[in-house]
Structure 1
Amino acid sequence: MKLSVILAPYDSGHYQSGFGQGPDALVTGGLIEALTLAGHDVSVEDIGKVGGDQPREIATGFAVCRAVSAMVDAALEDGRFPVVLAGNCLTTIGAVAGERADSVIWFDQHGDINTPETSAHGFLDGMALATVLGLCWKPIAHTVPGFKTIDPARCLLVDARDLDEDERKLLDTLPVLRASCANAAEQAGKLQGMGAVRTHLHIDLDVIDPDLLQVNRYTTPGGPGPDELGRIVCAIARSMPVTGVTLSAYDPAFDPQGDVPPVAGHLLTDLLAALERI
């Protein structure tokens, strides 16, 4: 398969800091070699510095999304499947826009569905899925080329085990599908019943059980093991029209032994193999 691996090395508006070091660490940890050895034709692109010399979280975060959207669109024009390696989950807005996705499957231990009105901490990344679904940041989100909000009924949120009370209340009012990893593949099939034909797969690596693999500092107990996560995303890939993938939220400072990159490489190679069998 022809692939475009797009690096978006930002964390809260800061270039190659914190989670923003994750994309490069995945690459230097052997991800590209794993994909190449699996027979893929891999092109690697970095969005570089965006947003000006004075980083501002909101402005820079959406500038990252605009850059990613353009690169994803170009990859698809070149017949390449886009894989975005992101520091922040907000970057998925750019991937969704570039793919013209009409549905999303969101693997994350967090809901990412706060809004400015409900967020206790003002953390932009905690509003990523809410923005994708058109619940907040509407004017600036629509500066991202190709962005259209996704109907909440075409969203599957998987294993969001760390929700605050406002997120729970909001989710109770929305037709967002919810699933544990164990029944995610079954629930994903319902998206097609809602007319989904272009599905973006978002995988925040902190969905994995931190007792088995520590990917960042914001982890809570529970979640699937790496092998279980791999089985589930492969089952989804074999049954759904997946148009692109984002991997996010890896902070190499919390992985001193470099355990995460090989797991990410294995996850992606298995996922792509499943897509090729369709």
Structure 2
Amino acid sequence: MNISIILASYDSGHYHGGCGQGPDALIAGGLAEALKLAGHDVAVHDIGKVSEDEQEREIATGFAVCNAVSGEVRIALDNGRFPIVLAGNCLTSAGAVAGEGADAIIWADQHGDLNTPDTSTSGFLDGMALATVLGLCWRRMAAQIPGFKPIDPTRCVLVNARDLDPAEQELLETLPIIRTECPDWAGAAEKLKAAGAERVHMHIDLDIHDPEELQANRYTTPGGPAPDEVRTAMCGLAGPLTIAGLTISAYDPAFDPKGDVPPLVGELVVDLLSTMEGR
């Protein structure tokens, strides 16, 4: 398969800060080499800095990253390449969704990312990432991302979200989002197909993992699936569905002193692509 890896090295508006160091660390840890060894043609593209103004607001920078990612994803698809976005922030998936013209999403994350400016108690933009993708907030900003169309909540699978704010819990009681745990991926895939999903974006926040098994950043909470469970679920979901692109986010190498994360990400992506090729 022809692959384009797109680096979006921002975290909360800061270039190469915190989880913004994750994309480069995954490449340095051998992700591209693992894909090449598996027989894939790999090209790596970096969106670089989206602004030279270090004082620019996080919101403006976050959506500028989405704009840049949308363009790179579209270029990849136009050239017959499968886009893999390595991002510091989850919001970046809005850019990938836009570039792919995705009409459904799999959101694998320990958090719901379903807060809005009205419900957030922290103001953390990334805590509104999935809400943005679903058109629940930041509509005018999202509408400026080239190609962006909000995804209907009926075509959203939320995987292993275990750390939810009260407002997110309340919202999930009213929205028709498909919730699942990793072992139950087959039922979720069937529901997504029944909802009419044709082009699915897969978003994997690495803090979905049980931190006792794999710690990706500072935001982890106890519990969650082991790496092999996540890999099995993502490959299982990819089997019956058409995956238009992949985002892997929120890896802060400062919390991975032994460098455990990059090899496991390599295994996950290699197996995922193998599943897709075997459809």
- So what's the TM-score if we normalise by structure 2? 0.99
Q: Counterpart in 2 of 1:169?
A: 170
Q: CA deviation at 1:152?
A: 0.5
Q: Counterpart in 2 of 1:144?
A: 145
CA offsets 1:233-263 (integer angstroms, 9 cap, x no match) = 1111111111100000000000011110000
State the secondary structure of the residue aligned to 2:271: helix
Residue identity opposite 2:37 in structure 1: L
Q: Counterpart in 2 of 1:42?
A: 42
State the secondary structure of the residue aligned to 2:248: strand
Residues in 2 aligned to 1:14 and 1:27: alpha-carbon distance in whole angstroms: 19
Q: Does the 8 A contact of 1:69 with 1:96 survive in 2?
A: yes
Residues in 2 aligned to 1:51 and 1:151: alpha-carbon distance in whole angstroms: 31
Q: Counterpart in 2 of 1:111?
A: 112
Q: CA deviation at 1:194?
A: 1.1
Q: Counterpart in 2 of 1:252?
A: 253
Residue identity opposite 2:33 in structure 1: E
Residues in 1 aligned to 2:48 and 2:2: alpha-carbon distance in whole angstroms: 22
Structure 2 unmatched ranges of 5 or more: none
Residue identity opposite 1:231 in structure 2: T
Residue identity opposite 1:273 in structure 2: S
1:272 aligns with 2:273: yes
Residue identity opposite 1:30 in structure 2: G
Q: Counterpart in 2 of 1:90?
A: 91
User: After TM superposition, what 4+ stretches of structure 1 lie above 3 angstroms from structure 2?
Assistant: none
Residue identity opposite 2:51 in structure 1: G
Q: Does the 8 A contact of 1:51 with 1:64 survive in 2?
A: no
What does 1:220-259 align with in structure 2 at a 5 Å threshold?
220-259=221-260
Q: CA deviation at 1:220?
A: 0.7
Q: CA deviation at 1:185?
A: 3.0
Percent identical: 65
Q: Does the 8 A contact of 1:105 with 1:188 survive in 2?
A: no
Q: Does the 8 A contact of 1:14 with 1:55 survive in 2?
A: no
- So what's the TM-score if we normalise by structure 1? 0.99
CA offsets 1:164-211 (integer angstroms, 9 cap, x no match) = 100000111101111111112321221111111000000001001100
Residues in 1 aligned to 2:180 and 2:142: alpha-carbon distance in whole angstroms: 27
123-132 vs 182-191, greater mean Cα deviation: 182-191
Q: Counterpart in 2 of 1:33?
A: 33
Residues in 1 aligned to 2:68 and 2:273: alpha-carbon distance in whole angstroms: 24
Residues in 1 aligned to 2:172 and 2:229: alpha-carbon distance in whole angstroms: 26
Q: Does the 8 A contact of 2:86 with 2:249 survive in 1?
A: yes
